[in-house]
Chain A
Amino acid sequence: MSIRKQLAVMIWPVAAAAMMVAGSAGAQDKEEIVIGASVPMTGPFAFAGIQFNRGINDYVEWVNSQGGIRGRQVRYIGEDTGYDADQSVAVFRRITSSEDVTFYFGDSTAFQQSIEPELERRDILMTGASFASEINNPEEYPMQFLLGPDYGEQVGILLEYIADENPGASVAFIHSDTEFGRDPIEGGKKMAEDLGLEVATTIVTPPGSADVSAAALELRRARPDYAIMHGYVLSPIPAFIEQARQMRLDTRFMGTIYTMEQGIIDQMGETAEGFLGVMPYRYYYDENADEAPLLQTIREMHDEYQATTYTQGWVAGILMQRIAEHTLDAGRELNGTNMRKSIEEMENIDTGGLIGKKFSFSGNSIPVGRIYRADVSEGRMVPVSDWIELD
């Protein structure tokens, strides 16, 4: 047999089996709660996507072992999007066309914006990786909630901390020229002024640029007490701080949620010392884990450090659970519209301590966070403030 024929013979059973798989996915249990997800397990955001996926998976395993949500078992279906909005929508369509989805997890601001009308039509509640201020608007995005403070609020928490620690200090904003980077800047400037802080300068860096010497010089001219960096994950923050140190600037650098991963200490070493940032969740090694039963559960499941994006997956799960419980307890059917009502009604929401404070939603967001400082000698992030809740 020629290779071509052999291949053809091999392909048919695979194709037939694939069709069977596709067909069987249609069968479903009515009592089941299905969580669908477009997660970026490849591409530039994979570092977070892989952890979201693991986090939600582990949460679902845990909640089912506890008897599910009000007796209903939970099933999770997450697929890779490569962090491409077209593919995110394709995954959404693929999952929703064969499953009766109650919750969905989205992977990017662009996707979460464009899918909103479809969520309303299908009555599905969504959360996800985006903390965009734009989505924190229940009028425009009634079917979504955020897993923490939006980017504007994150910057707000940082500014409140600064105003508290060093009234009248000068602040610089350094951000990437992307939708992600620009998000909190205008609001942040205004808030800084309201808090009596001086905005020393605003520096924009092109997306993905590694050479920051020009921007560092600009920072030297402004000599701010604090510099809030937003719209980056890691690069070019190390280069920036290193150059600032060489220029003998004593500016304190600060970051937002996706920058505050443990990796910043592991990869930057000494340079990371004193880096400050806002994080709405407890770190894996939090010293007050006794206040956080779910953190203890995570530690029992995994001996080694788990990323904050992994915790974010758990927070997504536990919040979906709280919202579903509230809706079912009120005797309402489990759909997006009713769950929206629950979001508005719920008070003192408890995430098993993963978010260190009980809260109510403000719009679509959870305006709670805590300031952490990178402590290189300990090799971890240590809290330097209590849990801050914005009014």
Chain B
Amino acid sequence: MRIGSPKETYAADEALFRTRTQWAWFGVLLAALAGFPFVANLYWLYLVCLVSINVIAVTGLNVLTGYTGQVSLGQAAFMGVGAYTVAWLENHTGSPFPVNLLAGSVVATGVGLIAGLPSLRVKGLYLAIATIAASFILLFIFKNWESVTNGTRGIGIEPPSAFGVALENPDTFYWLVVPVTVVMLLLASNLFRTRIGRAFIAIRDRDISASVLGIDLPRYKLMSFGISAFYAGMAGGLYAYFFGSINPESFPLLMSIFLLAAVIVGGMGSMLGSILGGIFMTLVPELLRYGIDFLGLFMENASAVLSPVRTVVFGLLIVGFLLFEPLGLAEIWRRIRRFFHLWPFRT
């Protein structure tokens, strides 16, 4: 049982990791991440890479939707902007991949700032519709700006290489995507220790009071859109490198809804929620395959018969979380943690 963790300075109160135990666990996590490629096969590494890309996109959306309270259904389209920028730079300038990824994120940020302009006048559902419109406009551009995007045929992208090693397989790409994800998550967590992050939260809780407190609403709302799109651009760029080819159908509206669902299932306004949401939405459909494998022992042709069931179960799990755990997976995590903190006493 933990008795208490006294804080003697403001800095200690704001720290990301407040106790030694937390630092220790963070170290364990990093070690586990570093050791994972040596024990896992390519399938699991592929899934971890995919989860990482999704976690970056979900984190961006969580900054905007979970922390700032601005609903957006344009995240997938911003990912597309990042992906196309990376693809264009890679194929036309041959600049190194870190430059391309950053450029993709910056271009996405610019587009995000423009797409965020309606947020200055409207909010809630109206804003959601405005972002859908932005998403459709971007998809139209992906399809029709042939000279850059190669239209509906899509573009192929060569894998990036670092120190002479081509990062073309999940086992090598892992070393790019996982560190980037960790850095992006640390940056986002730190954001909420600053004035900017607190301004976002104030806007979410009550924009009028935030304005009274001296927060410049247009500036911070747009900043939130920009940061969110930056994350989407990074995720999109990594996606382009990871899959090696993109086309306008790689970033459908459905993907934005998927990301928003991940934010809600994981926990709005929680970094841990972004991680857990990204993991849940990506991995659960895959894990349900093992259920099918298992049932395949007892019935013939299980994968054909049970595949629709898998989709239904996934849907029911999402509904279940919304009903029974509206604060998301992050809340379950907190409850488990509390249990161990208070053990042997009951909560």
Residues of A within 8 A of B (CB): 14, 17-19, 21-22, 25, 41-42, 50, 53-54, 57, 78-80, 82, 85-87, 89-90, 93-94, 96-98, 110, 113-114, 117-118, 121, 134, 177-179, 181-182
Q: Kindly identify, within residues 232 to 258 of chain B, every residue whose CB is under 8 Å from any CB belonging to chain A.
A: 243-245, 247-250
Q: How far is the CB of B30 from chain A (nearest CB, A)?
A: 25
Once A18-B290, A21-B294, A110-B250 are accepted as A-B contacts, the answer to whether A80 and B153 lie under 8 Å apart by CB is no
Interface contact B291-A82, CB-CB below 8 Å: no
When each residue 148-170 of chain B gets 1 if its CB lies under 8 Å from chain A and 0 otherwise, what string results? Answer: 00011110100100000000111
Interface contact A22-B153, CB-CB below 8 Å: no
Interface contact A50-B297, CB-CB below 8 Å: no
Interface contact A14-B310, CB-CB below 8 Å: no
Interface contact B243-A114, CB-CB below 8 Å: yes
B41 at the interface (CB under 8 A from A): yes
Cα(A22)–Cα(B44), bound, Å: 12
Interface contact B170-A93, CB-CB below 8 Å: yes
Interface contact B250-A90, CB-CB below 8 Å: no
When each residue 293-321 of chain B gets 1 if its CB lies under 8 Å from chain A and 0 otherwise, what string results? Answer: 11011000101100110110000000000
Query: What are 8 A-B pairs at a CB distance below 8 A?
Result: A21-B293, A57-B301, A87-B285, A93-B43, A96-B43, A98-B41, A179-B152, A179-B247
Residue in contact with A21 in the complex, picked from B152, B159, B286, B290, CB distance below 8 Å? B290
Residue in contact with A97 in the complex, picked from B41, B153, B156, B247, CB distance below 8 Å? B41
Neighbouring A residues of B99 by C-beta, 8 Å: none
Neighbouring B residues of A94 by C-beta, 8 Å: 43, 286, 289
Neighbouring A residues of B223 by C-beta, 8 Å: none
Cα(A329)–Cα(B154), bound, Å: 39
Cα(A41)–Cα(B306), bound, Å: 9
Inter-chain CB contacts under 8 Å: number: 100
Main secondary structure of the interface of A (DSSP, over half): helix
B50 at the interface (CB under 8 A from A): yes
When each residue 35-78 of chain B gets 1 if its CB lies under 8 Å from chain A and 0 otherwise, what string results? Answer: 00000011110110010000000000000000000000000000
Q: How far is the CB of B139 from chain A (nearest CB, A)?
A: 10
Q: 20 new A-B pairs (CB below 8 Å) besides A42-B307, A94-B286, A110-B154?
A: A14-B291, A18-B294, A21-B293, A21-B294, A21-B296, A21-B297, A41-B303, A54-B304, A90-B46, A93-B170, A94-B43, A97-B43, A97-B44, A114-B243, A114-B244, A134-B153, A178-B152, A179-B153, A179-B248, A182-B153
Interface contact B304-A50, CB-CB below 8 Å: yes
Interface contact A97-B42, CB-CB below 8 Å: yes
Residue in contact with B154 in the complex, picked from A53, A54, A97, A179, CB distance below 8 Å? A179
Residue in contact with B304 in the complex, picked from A53, A134, A181, CB distance below 8 Å? A53
Q: How far is the CB of B332 from chain A (nearest CB, A)?
A: 12
Interface contact B42-A93, CB-CB below 8 Å: yes
Interface contact A113-B303, CB-CB below 8 Å: no
Cα(A22)–Cα(B291), bound, Å: 10
Interface contact B245-A114, CB-CB below 8 Å: yes
Interface contact A90-B43, CB-CB below 8 Å: yes
Residue in contact with A89 in the complex, picked from B46, B296, B301, B308, CB distance below 8 Å? B46
Cα(A78)–Cα(B247), bound, Å: 25
Neighbouring B residues of A118 by C-beta, 8 Å: 169
Cα(A269)–Cα(B198), bound, Å: 63
Give B285's nearest chain A residue, CB to CB.
Answer: A87
Once A41-B308, A177-B143 are accepted as A-B contacts, the answer to whether A110 and B297 lie under 8 Å apart by CB is no
Cα(A78)–Cα(B307), bound, Å: 11
How many B residues are at the interface, by size bracket? 35 or more
Residues of B within 8 A of A (CB): 41-44, 46-47, 50, 143, 151-154, 156, 159, 168-170, 243-245, 247-250, 285-286, 289-291, 293-294, 296-297, 301, 303-304, 307-308, 310-311
Neighbouring B residues of A19 by C-beta, 8 Å: 290
Interface contact A82-B311, CB-CB below 8 Å: yes
Neighbouring A residues of B285 by C-beta, 8 Å: 82, 87
Residue in contact with A93 in the complex, picked from B46, B154, B303, B308, CB distance below 8 Å? B46
Cα(A97)–Cα(B169), bound, Å: 12
Interface contact A182-B247, CB-CB below 8 Å: no
Residue in contact with B245 in the complex, picked from A17, A78, A80, A110, CB distance below 8 Å? A110
Once A90-B46, A113-B154, A178-B152 are accepted as A-B contacts, the answer to whether A14 and B294 lie under 8 Å apart by CB is yes
Cα(A98)–Cα(B44), bound, Å: 11
Neighbouring B residues of A121 by C-beta, 8 Å: 168-169
Once A41-B308, A90-B50 are accepted as A-B contacts, the answer to whether A22 and B293 lie under 8 Å apart by CB is yes
Neighbouring A residues of B289 by C-beta, 8 Å: 79, 94
Q: How far is the CB of A345 from chain B (nearest CB, A)?
A: 28
Q: How far is the CB of B306 from chain A (nearest CB, A)?
A: 9
Neighbouring B residues of A50 by C-beta, 8 Å: 304
Neighbouring B residues of A93 by C-beta, 8 Å: 42-43, 46-47, 170
Most chain A CB within 10 A, of B43, B248, B301, B308, is at B43
Residue in contact with A90 in the complex, picked from B244, B286, B294, CB distance below 8 Å? B286
Give B303's nearest chain A residue, CB to CB.
Answer: A79
Cα(A113)–Cα(B41), bound, Å: 23
Neighbouring A residues of B307 by C-beta, 8 Å: 41-42, 79-80
Interface contact A85-B290, CB-CB below 8 Å: no
Neighbouring A residues of B247 by C-beta, 8 Å: 110, 179
Cα(A94)–Cα(B45), bound, Å: 10
Cα(A85)–Cα(B46), bound, Å: 13
Residue in contact with B249 in the complex, picked from A21, A78, A110, CB distance below 8 Å? A110
Neighbouring B residues of A21 by C-beta, 8 Å: 290, 293-294, 296-297
Once A21-B294, A114-B245 are accepted as A-B contacts, the answer to whether A90 and B303 lie under 8 Å apart by CB is no
Interface contact A179-B304, CB-CB below 8 Å: no
Neighbouring B residues of A90 by C-beta, 8 Å: 43, 46-47, 50, 286
Give B305's nearest chain A residue, CB to CB.
Answer: A41
Give A115's nearest chain B residue, CB to CB.
Answer: B244
Cα(A118)–Cα(B166), bound, Å: 13
